[in-house]
Amino acid sequence: MKRYSYHLLLLLCLASCKEAVLDLVPISTPTTETFYKTSNDMLNALNAVYGSLRSNAAGLTEFFYGDMTTDDAQAVPGYPAHADFDNFMINPASTAPVSDRWNDAYKGISRANIILERIETVPMDATLKNRVIGETKFLRAYFYFNLVKVYGDVPLILKELTKPEEAYSYGREAAQTVYAQIEKDLTEAIGVLPVSYTGTDVGRVTSGAAKGMLARAMIYQQKFKEATPLLADIITKQSPAQYQLLSNYASVFQYNNGNNKEILFAIQYTPNSQAIGQGNTLTSTFGPIAGATVPLFGSNANQPTMDLYNAFAPGDSRRDASIAFAVLQGPMSYVNKFINRSIQLRAEDGTDYPILRYSDILLMYAECLNEEGNTALAIPYVNQVRERAFGNNTMNLQFTNPAVTATYVADKAALRDRIIQERRLEFCFEGLRFFDLARTNTLVPTLNSYFTNNNVKFNGKIIQIGANNKLFPVPQAQIDVNPTVLKQNPGYN
């Protein structure tokens, strides 16, 4: 499913818009009254929901929230304002990424709500109808997950809104309530989604993707016991036939290796050479600035830190697969993941963006086992990831020889720290670092230590964050138009 259909997006705005005097609709122009009538209508509408994955609701903007706010990356000097902590201090609630995530996620949710509300009356094959419902519920849950992990309490809208004024009645629901709906949507999706697809449907949401995403949402809530069987099911029943680690870490992200066996779910892109307007901006966003001693061009918008580079142990293949250097008035690091050196123009790349990988399933499973007190059982799952990274088992974690400090794990607390470190190295630049630190309550000490040790300053003072920074500010524009029900997160007033 490399292409998402956009030509019907206009239909997915608020319905029931009628001209006050004339009610004449050209035969060639579909409306919300004439659309949503057939199975093809539903599939086109669903493709438009998938299309929202390419907006600021997800994917390519994850680095704003998950990377640049951490010890992994930074905005290069002179680059326009991003979601770095210094920008929060300047004008927090008006920073573009903060507003864009909110706006685009709710657009995707609105499109999903329309499908779920209208599909029941559409004559369709029952299996196909259930599949469309399952895909739509997964996507709605994913958009809400991206909202709740960024903002905390958010409006929970589960119906089609036909009038703009309806939106004013929705205040911020408790994060716990939003998570409950996420769990409900994903659980129901698991029951109706297929295990796999063939042909042009490859890339759509599967039951395995829904299980993995549900487990991730549960882990974010510290529900390790509930997440464990979901992850075990993927590992024991769907691996290695369907999912497995690729032998070469770098090959997971290659532009010509999409939907490989390590990918449970990814945002799909097609090179512009095959379909105009279907490519992504990864190379031009992450590549080094023009003029550097590398035949690439870009914004270097997610510049890796030396703190991350130095965190990789010698022999870890993930370091050079993830980080490279160019020279422009001195060495310049840039993200090497996702880079396609064959493209010539911006936004023409076909590299897919992974949302959920099998290595994440293994590390989440290890985390769950460890948190339940099964530390010895958890270690082999971490080691599967490390063996791929080092090409052998010499760096496998162990708890028998304290003298080998590079691999020794003493207890549950020590393995917890090692898993978070392993996640940092395995998923760098995939937008997970900030949220891994936030959900494990290590964000504040980790980043304050990084800012101090690296003399990271704003207005002449070393940046220090507080517990309130585990959440991003609510967009000020949203509060301004609906101040009676929408309030700002603490610390951003």
Q: Is residue 4 part of a domain?
A: no
Number of domains in the chain: 1
In a domain, 105, yes or no: no
Q: Classify each residue of 154-170 as buried b or exposed e, where b means 16 or more C-beta atoms within 10 Å of its C-beta.
A: bbbbeebbeeeeebeeb
- Domain assignment of residue 89, yes or no: no
| Average pLDDT, integer, range 292-296 | 73
Choice between 61 and 223, residue whose per-residue pLDDT is larger: 223
pTM of the prediction? 0.91
Query: How many Å apart are CA 435 and CA 446, to the nearest integer?
Result: 13
| Helix (H/G/I), strand (E/B), else coil: 408 | strand
> Does residue 393 sit in helix, strand or coil?
coil
Q: Burial, 402: exposed, middle or buried (Cβ in 10 Å; 0-12, 13-18, 19+)?
A: exposed
* Whole-angstrom distance, CA of residue 126 vs CA of residue 59: 31
Alpha-carbon distance of 98 to 151, in angstroms, equals 9
Q: Which residue has the higher pLDDT, 5 or 107?
A: 107
Give the model's pLDDT for residue 86.
Answer: 54
> What span, in angstroms and rounded, lies between the C-alpha atoms of 103 and 180?
22
Neighbours of 227 (CB within 10 A): 25
> How would residue 5 be classed by pLDDT, with cut points 50, 70 and 90?
very low
Neighbours of 46 (CB within 10 A): 23
Provide the pLDDT for residue 348. Answer: 76
- Give tens-digit pLDDT for 83-122: 456 555 555 656 677 888 999 999 999 999 999 999 999 9
> For residue 344, is it within any domain?
yes
Instruction: Report the DSSP pairing between strands 73-74 and 303-304.
Output: antiparallel
Average of per-residue pLDDT values in the chain:
87
pLDDT digits 0-9 by tens, 35-45: 888 999 999 99
Q: Is residue 292 part of a domain?
A: yes
Range 252-277 average pLDDT: 88
Maximum Cα–Cα distance across the chain? 84
Where is 333: in which H helix or E strand?
strand 331-335
Contacts of 198 (CB under 8 A, 6+ apart): none
* pLDDT confidence of residue 29: 44
Among 52-66, 175-189, 253-267, the minimum mean pLDDT is found in 52-66
Q: Enumerate residues 6+ apart whose C-beta is below 8 A from 378.
A: 365, 366, 367, 368, 369, 370, 415, 419
Domain span at residue 282? Answer: 269-351
pLDDT for residue 31: 58
Average pLDDT over residues 188-192: 97
325 in helix, strand or coil?
strand
> How far apart, in whole angstroms, are the C-alpha atoms of residue 117 and residue 112?
9
Mean pLDDT of 245-261: 95
pLDDT band at 78 (very low <50, low <70, confident <90, very high): low
Reported as a single tens digit per residue, the pLDDT across 208-250 is 999 999 999 999 999 999 999 999 999 999 988 999 999 999 9
How many C-beta atoms lie closer than 10 Å to residue 26's C-beta? Answer: 7
Q: Is residue 125 included in any domain, yes or no?
A: no
Cβ(206)–Cβ(347) under 8 Å?
no
Higher-confidence residue of 124 and 457: namely 124
Give the separation between CA 381 and CA 363, rounded to whole angstroms. Answer: 7
3-state helix, strand, coil in the chain (%, to 5): 50, 5, 45
Tokens matching residue 27: 């035969």
Residue 40 belongs to a domain? no
Is it the case that residue 153 has pLDDT exceeding 70?
A: yes
**Can you name the residues that pair with 289 across neighbouring β-strands?**
298
| More confident: 305 or 91 | 305
- Which residue would you say has higher pLDDT here, 10 or 322? 322
Residue 320 in domain: yes
pLDDT at 77: 59
pLDDT in tens, 131-150: 999 999 999 999 999 999 99
pLDDT score, position 82 = 36
More confident residue, 60 or 312: 312
pLDDT digits (tens, 9 = 90+) for 328-385: 878 889 999 998 888 766 667 889 999 999 999 999 999 999 999 999 999 999 999 9
Percent of the chain with pLDDT over 90: 65
Q: Band of the pLDDT at 428, cuts 50, 70, 90? A: very high
Q: Contact 349/340 with Cβ under 8 angstroms?
A: yes
Query: Among 466, 475, 480, which Cα is nearest to 97's?
Result: 475
* Chain centroid to CA 328: 31
